Amino acid sequence: MKTMRNVKIFVDYWNFQLRWNDNNKTTELAQRPIKLAWERLPTVLMGELPSIFGTSDPISFKGIYVFASVDPRPGSRDEGLKRYLNYLNQQTGFQVRVKDRKAKADSCPHCSTAIDRMVEKGVDAAIVTALYEGAINNSYDIALLLSNDTDHIPAVQTIQDRLNKQIVHVGFKRGGAEVRQATWSHILLDGPIGGRLITPASNS
């Protein structure tokens, strides 16, 4: 009897988005990043799993969790991002969890004037917690992790070794080697796989 294997996807928004930007730029002089079609991520990534795990057991998509941070101050440059994350949270299978960045006292490197720098807090902990909760509650058998953050490695190793889950790293050839080596397998978005994640407008 075939056993259904449940799959969840966990995304560190800024870590992954910045890696995407670095690896996908237009050929024009300005070198603007090519837009990522976030809505296609589940379909494209699920389509790659049979090449890793085979086709003997069916797989079932159980959701994609996106962990992001924004500048909460009214009128900040993140106003458009807030609207987009709200839109993404309403797409089928998506759960977007947003943390407010916190002000950290700093000084200008040029004039030494005191400034407040907005820094990300709580995103890494939220991802690790969600990975553990899903593994302990058996809500997934396979987790796809879109992050190069090495702080996740201890959780990845424990979940695989002690909780008998399989974690697949999703990223690019350049960067992420330490996380990639800690996971069961990996999916590289260089080439045709990444090409399927480019928005139509970016191809024009």
CATH number at residue 92: 3.40.50.1010
Residue 61 has pLDDT above 80, yes or no: yes
How confident is the model at residue 102, as a pLDDT?
A: 83
Q: Which domain holds residue 172?
A: 5-203
User: Which is more confidently placed, 189 or 27?
Assistant: 189
Name which of 30-34, 82-86, 196-200 the model is least confident about. 30-34
8 A C-beta contact, residue 134 and residue 2: no
Per cent of the chain over pLDDT 90 is 75
CB count in 10 Å sphere of residue 3: 8
Q: Is the pLDDT of residue 31 over 90?
A: no
For the chain, percent of residues with pLDDT exceeding 70: 86
Looking at the predicted structure, is the pLDDT value of residue 25 above 90?
no
Domain count, the chain: 1
> 96 pairs with which residues across the strands?
66
Is residue 151 within 8 Å of 126, Cβ to Cβ? no
What pLDDT is recorded for position 204? 40
Which comes out higher in pLDDT, residue 76 or 182? 182
Q: What is the mean pLDDT of residues 55-64?
A: 94
| Distance (Å, whole) CA 104 – CA 169 | 31
Give per-residue burial for 101-115: e unless 16+ CB within 10 Å, then b: beeeeeeeeeeeeee
Mean pLDDT of 191-202: 82
What is the rounded CA–CA span in Å between residue 176 and residue 145?
Answer: 11
Tens-place pLDDT, residues 101-154: 887 756 566 676 655 566 768 899 999 999 999 999 999 999 999 999 999 999
Instruction: Retrieve residue 29's tokens.
Output: 């002089």
Q: Quickly state the pLDDT bin for 202 (edges 50, 70, 90).
A: very low
Which residue has better confidence, 2 or 149?
149
Provide the pLDDT for residue 115: 54
Would the pLDDT of 16 be above 60?
Answer: yes
pLDDT attached to residue 112: 63
Residue 162 — left, alpha, or beta (φ > 0 → left; ψ -120 to 50 → alpha)?
alpha
